């Protein structure tokens, strides 16, 4: 059990002490949260999730998130307040340094002329600018320490932005420099020279006219817009979106969206994604990302997974532009990692010898290791072999997906898939029908045809692992078919594609058989999808080398009593 889980009365609570360096941020030195459960295992699971979020908060609070864009915004807001005062001075509604002027007149024993008064005020303003200049040169800008501390406190309380001590020092010097500019502009106003004031005002107005938003705020609004725009979205897809947004915030930090949309930030994101740990929450639940990146030897996410995060970042920046939170070209466009592989690294198709061994294993070897029994894996393999379907499409089939067309042909009615082209009726080949597939479907007393998910079937078929005692565990393929690491169940889809093209010599029909999109081709714009009956005729002409239908029929009778 997590060391942060404690039982109070009959219920469990999550308890965590605030680190000493962050005590000033929290109202209490201890974080406590009721878990509302008396079950030890449930409390442990909840505790891991809460502890991860808490540690991430600590990391964000410790990291300086005062990016360059936010710095400019704060300084320009300070300058705008100063310029408003200078405007009042220029309009004559505010008279500065009046007490100093009166003391000067008292010492002189006579009233100063208006010209002398204005020159005295200009001289005072120049001295103030000189003091600021000297402080900047000496590296001692103590006059703005208190103001910078108040700004840092406001950022933390109102926006959740942590400002490190190093960032505070930078902010103090920036405020000192802004104060110098205001004093120089004021001196010019007193002498009737408004050039510095007007130039400074134009620059500040231009800077403040630019949109500003923090990444966390944009991500929150993006998530709401994303879910509202997709009423039929799957729960898993929505969960993926939230996870990707959370990881992006963890990698980038809560900086301005304008700063996110820079090549420097993109370079940092891509560098970290190349080293981002696989199963990060499960394997490193209590470690900050910065600490994980300092070690080596852990498994990292695949390049394709990293590309999903980059795609999400691009989508977020596109949304920010649409929502007027950003007004610049999306730098993430075209920045995906290259996933092209050399020809020898691509997934290999099963050859005739592999298929012969596959049929032999299906007819002689057990198709499950643990209860409950899963004899229907026999049909999963055959559908992949005869129809070329993706595993996800196969295990997602239900009884209502097996139906007849108006011409009486039996089809798989695929209702979802990887691409829009996957969604289509596909004729059930004669070989499956002869082996009794339709009779088996009709005999089922459940809606889903298969007990397996894509993940559980893949683990049984493809996975090779080492047990805790050191013995080797081999999946069905490695044990009985081939140990070629370039081959897996998906190799049957490659074999199927080759067979289709051998029969037709037509890329369009091959694409239709595979469920691939041809929407970008000129041919596809002027031709309809190939009819299910035509595809069935092609399927029946395909090579059956290495496939012993007699043995498969006997195995079907043995497994299902048909």
- The mean pLDDT value for 236-243 works out to 91
pLDDT over threshold 60, residue 281: yes
CB 398 within 8 Å of CB 448: yes
Angle of the 145-154 helix axis to the 165-190 helix axis, nearest 10: 120
* pLDDT of amino acid 530: 47
Q: Which one has a higher pLDDT value, 19 or 8?
A: 8
pLDDT in tens, 194-219: 999 999 999 998 888 878 888 988 99
* pLDDT of amino acid 342: 45
pLDDT in tens, 66-84: 777 788 888 988 899 999 9
Beta bridge partners of 537: none
* pLDDT of amino acid 126: 92
pLDDT in tens, 383-403: 988 888 888 888 989 998 899
pLDDT over threshold 90, residue 378: yes
Residues sharing a CB contact under 8 Å with residue 60, sequence separation 6 or more, in sequence order: 160, 162, 253, 254
CB 473 within 8 Å of CB 459: no
pLDDT over threshold 50, residue 492: yes
* pLDDT of amino acid 522: 40
Burial profile 468-496: b = 16 or more Cβ within 10 angstroms, e = fewer: eeeeeeebbbbeebbeeeebbbbbbbbbb
pLDDT over threshold 60, residue 525: no
Q: Angle at the Cα of 337 (from 342 to 392), degrees rounded to 5? A: 75
Q: Band of the pLDDT at 520, cuts 50, 70, 90? A: very low
Query: Cα separations (Å) of 164 from 311, 336, 453?
Result: 31, 33, 48
């Amino acid at each position: 059990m997590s060391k942060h889980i404690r039982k109070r009365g009959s219920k469990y609570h999550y308890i965590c002490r605030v680190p000493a360096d962050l005590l000033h941020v929290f109202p209490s030195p201890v974080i406590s949260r009721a878990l509302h459960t008396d079950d030890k295992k449930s409390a442990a699971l909840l505790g891991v999730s809460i502890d991860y979020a808490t540690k991430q908060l600590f990391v964000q609070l410790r990291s300086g998130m005062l990016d360059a864009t936010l710095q400019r915004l704060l300084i320009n807001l300070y300058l705008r307040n100063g310029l408003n005062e200078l405007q009042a001075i220029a309009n004559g509604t505010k008279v500065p340094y009046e007490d100093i002027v009166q003391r000067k007149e008292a010492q002189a024993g006579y009233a100063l002329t208006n010209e002398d008064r204005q020159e005295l005020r200009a001289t005072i303003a120049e001295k103030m600018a000189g003091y600021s200049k000297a402080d900047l040169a000496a590296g001692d800008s103590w006059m703005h320490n208190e103001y910078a501390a108040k700004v840092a406190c406001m950022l933390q309380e109102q926006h959740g932005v942590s400002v490190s001590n190093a960032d505070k020092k930078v902010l103090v010097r920036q405020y000192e420099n802004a104060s110098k500019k205001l004093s120089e502009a004021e001196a010019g106003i007193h002498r009737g020279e408004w050039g510095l004031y007007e130039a400074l005002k134009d620059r500040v107005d231009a800077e403040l006219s630019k949109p500003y938003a923090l990444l966390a705020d944009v991500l929150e609004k993006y998530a709401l817009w994303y879910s509202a725009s997709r009423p039929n979205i799957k729960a898993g897809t929505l969960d993926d979106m939230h996870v990707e947004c959370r990881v992006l915030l963890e990698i980038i930090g809560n900086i301005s969206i304008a700063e996110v949309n820079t090549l420097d930030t993109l370079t940092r994101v891509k560098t970290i994604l190349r080293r981002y740990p696989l199963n990060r929450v499960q394997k490193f639940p209590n470690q900050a990302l910065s600490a994980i990146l300092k070690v080596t030897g852990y498994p990292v996410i695949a390049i394709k997974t990293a590309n999903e995060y980059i795609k999400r970042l691009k989508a977020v920046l596109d949304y920010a532009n649409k929502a007027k939170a950003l007004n610049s070209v999306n730098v993430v466009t075209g920045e995906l990692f290259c996933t092209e592989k050399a020809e020898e690294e691509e997934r290999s198709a099963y050859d005739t010898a592999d298929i012969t061994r596959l049929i032999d294993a299906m007819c002689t070897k057990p198709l499950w290791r643990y209860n409950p029994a899963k004899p229907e894996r026999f049909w999963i393999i055959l559908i992949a072999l005869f129809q070329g379907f993706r595993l996800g499409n196969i295990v997602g089939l239900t009884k209502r997906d097996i139906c007849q067309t108006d011409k009486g042909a039996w089809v798989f009615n695929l209702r979802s898939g990887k691409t829009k082209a996957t969604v289509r009726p596909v004729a059930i080949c004669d070989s499956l029908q002869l082996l009794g597939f339709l009779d088996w479907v009709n005999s089922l007393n459940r809606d889903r045809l298969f007990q397996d998910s894509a993940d559980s079937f893949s683990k049984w078929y493809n996975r090779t692992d080492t047990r805790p005692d050191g013995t080797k565990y081999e999946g069905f393929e490695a044990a009985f078919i081939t140990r070629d690491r370039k081959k897996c169940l998906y190799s049957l889809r490659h074999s199927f594609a080759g067979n289709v093209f051998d029969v037709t010599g037509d890329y369009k029909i091959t694409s239709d058989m595979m469920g691939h999109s041809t929407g970008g081709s000129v041919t596809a714009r002027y031709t309809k999808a190939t009819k299910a009956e035509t595809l069935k005729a092609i399927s029946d002409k395909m090579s059956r080398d290495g496939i012993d239908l007699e043995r498969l029929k006997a195995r079907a009778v043995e497994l299902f009593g048909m």
